[in-house]
Amino acid sequence: MATMQDVARLARVSVSTVSYALTGARPISQATREKVLAAMAELDYQPNALARGLASRRSRILGLLLPLDERGLGATESAFVTGAAATASAAGYHLVLSPVDAGDLDGLRRLASQRMLDGVVLMEVQVDDPRVGVLREARVPVVLIGRTGDTADLSYVDIDFDRTVRDAVAHLVDLGHRRIVHVNHSAAALAGGYGPALRSRDAFAAAMTGYGVTPVMIPAEESAAGGRHALTTAFGRAPDLTAVLAMNESAVFGILGELTAHGRTVPDDVSVVSMVTSPQVAELATPALTTMTSPGTAVGRIAIEALLRHVRDDGTALHQELLPCTLEVRGSSGPVRRQAVGAPRTEHPS
């Protein structure tokens, strides 16, 4: 494989001159440039991506900022990353995953100041997310997977939580359920302004109120143990519950286990629906989970497509799009088998 030194020897110029021809960092004569290009062609020399990027003032590297904890990436989260990576690669870009979160703004400033990223996609977005301001100050193009509270001049693609939760509740109500408990993300996530947790909470309250039923929401830590604890709490608040609507994939297996420990079968005694979940995760459960299936791959693809338009500065208007999850009925939801004591009999709203 030819090197820059080989090109310099064949063209009879210095290595720095070859570098200038590639990057444009300093002016060189047209005759010298042609000698360098001819030598590159003869040797089939392929300049590395960084050199090509310097010539165009672009690195062709995009950043995906996804805060990670000890759980790592699950199958559902991986779909967002897979969709983004495949789209970036097809466009000739590399996608670099960085775990910088809202608690490490200095680290984000250092990353942005290095000018190695042509643009950034933010995940795990908070309603008030300071990372957005840091990237704007550094003039780094940004697209959100998720939404802040104020999206007037931000591009984003997100789950349509209003429709997703409404469809999930309607599925359970149509099966006769009225005592439905929503197991959400953790109390810390809610207090920290995590968008999906807040939006699912509010959408659940609106949907249940629309049926004339009091909403019951339980926060849960992101673990099976958190799910078990949440289910125990749920029985304390609604002992006659007949359905659980989970917005916490990490907790849902603990919920299923705790139902068994309480002598309840799924779905005969209690139906379970998991929201924003992948089919791969759904099939791990017994019975397989009824889900509001995440459009993760599509979300990742659309976010990168929008980001590349910003990077190319083609004058395209802001991209703002919501994608609903799709109901996929499996074995964990079914008709209510017994009327819960004290549960109101309400009609499906028109």
| 268 and 183 belong to one structural domain | yes
Q: What confidence category does residue 114 fall into, taking pLDDT thresholds of 50, 70 and 90?
A: confident
| Structure letter (DSSP) for residue 28 | -
| 80 and 175 belong to one structural domain | no
Phi, psi of 343 (to 5 degrees): -75, 130
Tens of pLDDT, residue by residue over 164-180, are 999 999 999 999 999 99
263 found inside a domain? yes
Tens of pLDDT, residue by residue over 39-98, are 888 888 876 655 555 554 667 899 999 887 666 677 888 999 999 999 999 998 999 988
pLDDT score for 23 = 60
Final residue of a structural domain among 251, 274, 293: 293
Tens of pLDDT, residue by residue over 248-257, are 999 999 999 9
Q: What is the pTM of this model?
A: 0.80
pLDDT score for 21 = 74
| 143 and 255 belong to one structural domain | no
pLDDT surpassing 70 at residue 27? yes
Alpha helix ranges (H) inside the chain: 4-11, 15-23, 30-43, 49-56, 75-90, 105-113, 130-137, 161-174, 187-191, 195-210, 224-237, 249-261, 279-282, 296-312
Tens of pLDDT, residue by residue over 280-291, are 999 999 999 999
Q: What confidence category does residue 145 fall into, taking pLDDT thresholds of 50, 70 and 90?
A: very high
345 found inside a domain? no
- Pick the closest to residue 289 from 108, 31, 6, 76 (CA basis): 76
- Domain tally for the chain? 3
Q: How far is CA 164 from CA 6, 66, 226, 294, 322, in A?
A: 59, 23, 23, 10, 11
| 227 and 131 belong to one structural domain | no
Mean pLDDT along residues 132-145: 93
**Backbone torsion region of residue 39, taken as left when φ is above 0, otherwise alpha when ψ lies between -120 and 50, otherwise beta:** alpha
pLDDT surpassing 80 at residue 343? no
| 23 and 146 belong to one structural domain | no
Q: Residues 174, 234: contact at Cβ < 8 Å? A: no
| 313 and 244 belong to one structural domain | no
| 168 and 155 belong to one structural domain | no
The residue range of the domain holding 315 is: 61-159+296-326
Q: What is the CATH number of the domain that holds 72?
A: 3.40.50.2300
pLDDT surpassing 50 at residue 341? no
Place of tokens 């609903």: 324
- By DSSP bridging, strand 243-246 and strand 180-184 are parallel
Q: Is the peptide bond before 267 cis (omega within 30 degrees of 0)?
A: yes
